[in-house]
């Protein structure tokens, strides 16, 4: 039997929900029920296969309702990274040379395609994103006849800033109408689903990616929404209309829906509660001289808060807090082991090197309480203060 490590010696405070969220009891229960009752392969023609296929179709329909789109535009994938890859690979293999626009603050699963696009002979424009929000004037100026793809995050995973997709859609449509061009807008919406009403971003995109484990669902499952047909190099067994081959993980997909539906049903309540938690933490630490709350654009998610500790490298802060049961991050979990990727988002947003080197990200979840926040604030002030005093940065 596999032994799982769990340290019960101290109270733990998990502040890395933007990286991954613990599975909810309901989502886990749904997973177990589907795994034991809906074990047929949806591609099989016997009764258990037909039952699984019917369940899969019903979940697809329900996801479409959550996102306010058509069910035939929903494809189940292994997560946000694969969903992003499917769109990027479709355009990467274009025989004609195209022009791509992206921001410099994209998730690595998007931004790392930068060099691949260039190697294939395509052109790329990186538009600036001051304080974490794309410069729409720069985007408008970057549009050209060859522009075929624009890649933007709905909510930035490091800073929590929201992109003005409605305004961007209008810029694209106006240009397309004048020039007779077709431009595909893809939005990495992993940090938006269940936290922002879908009608605030879905009407303005041609495709979007989603991931279950950000919403207390299982890891390893996600969704690609795409209005326009895209192609893949290896259709495999033909599952998911040939877009994503491989037997569908029905238990994970059912669990994903359970988690997503719960978040969507409680979107306003969760947002209000999380805002209170975040504001309370800011109030408790804002006057502490060694903490600097990062200023970002005003339109941002309440689920993410960035704090700079100017005299302490972020890796040190993260490790010290970890030793006292406070789990924070230095940015995207996909890039936390490579500081340059984290710094790229901050530098592209206009922050200086010192801020980039000392930033930690705190991200919140709906199970947290005000009591947790007060304990976190007290521990952070005490622990970081002690380290800085030992370093001679504060008076003892």
- Which residues are tagged catalytic? 334
Q: Which residues 6+ apart lie within 8 Å of 263 measured at CB?
A: 193, 194, 195, 215, 216, 270
Please state, in angstroms and rounded to a whole number, the distance separating the CA atoms of residues 35 and 58. 17
DSSP 8-class letter at 295: P
CA 129 from centroid of its chain's CA atoms: 17
**Strand order through the sheet with 359-363:** 292-293, 304-308, 359-363
**Cα end-to-end distance, the chain, whole Å:** 50
Ranges assigned E (strand) in the chain: 13-14, 74-77, 99-103, 123-127, 147-153, 184-188, 207-211, 222-226, 292-293, 304-308, 326-327, 359-363
């Amino acid at each position: 039997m596999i032994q799982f490590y769990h340290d019960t010696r101290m109270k733990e405070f998990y502040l890395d929900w933007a990286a991954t969220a613990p599975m909810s009891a309901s989502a886990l229960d749904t997973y177990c029920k589907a795994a034991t009752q809906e074990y047929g392969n949806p591609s099989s023609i016997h009764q258990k296969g037909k039952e699984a296929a019917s369940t899969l179709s019903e979940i697809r329909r329900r996801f479409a309702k959550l996102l306010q789109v058509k069910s035939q535009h929903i494809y189940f994938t292994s997560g946000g990274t694969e969903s992003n890859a499917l769109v990027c690979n479709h355009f990467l293999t274009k025989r004609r040379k195209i022009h791509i626009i992206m921001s410099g603050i994209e998730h690595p699963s998007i931004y790392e395609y930068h060099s691949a696009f260039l190697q294939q002979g395509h052109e790329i424009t990186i538009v600036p994103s001051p304080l974490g929000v794309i410069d729409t004037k720069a985007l408008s100026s970057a549009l050209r006849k060859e522009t075929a793809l624009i890649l933007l995050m709905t909510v930035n995973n490091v800073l929590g800033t929201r992109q003005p997709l409605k305004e961007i859609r209008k810029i694209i449509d106006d240009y397309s109408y004048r020039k007779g061009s077709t431009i595909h807008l893809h939005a990495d919406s992993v940090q938006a689903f269940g936290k922002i009403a879908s009608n605030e971003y879905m009407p303005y995109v041609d495709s979007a990616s989603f991931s279950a484990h950000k919403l207390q669902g299982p890891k390893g499952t996600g969704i690609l929404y795409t209005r326009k047909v895209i192609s893949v190099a290896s259709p495999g067994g033909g599952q998911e209309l040939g877009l994503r081959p491989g037997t569908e993980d029905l238990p994970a997909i059912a669990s994903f829906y359970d988690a997503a539906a719960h978040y969507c049903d409680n979107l306003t309540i969760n947002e209000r509660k999380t805002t209170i938690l975040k504001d309370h933490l800011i109030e408790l630490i804002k006057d502490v001289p060694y903490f600097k709350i990062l200023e970002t654009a005003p339109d941002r998610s309440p689920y993410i808060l960035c704090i700079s500790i100017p005299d302490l490298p972020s890796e040190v802060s993260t490790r010290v807090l970890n030793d006292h049961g406070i789990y924070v991050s230095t940015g995207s979990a996909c890039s936390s082991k490579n500081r340059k990727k984290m710094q790229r988002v901050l530098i592209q947003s206009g922050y200086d090197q010192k801020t980039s080197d000392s930033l930690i990200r705190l991200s919140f979840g709906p199970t947290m309480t005000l009591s947790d926040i007060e304990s976190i604030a007290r521990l952070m002030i005490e622990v970081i203060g002690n380290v800085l005093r030992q370093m001679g940065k504060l008076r003892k």
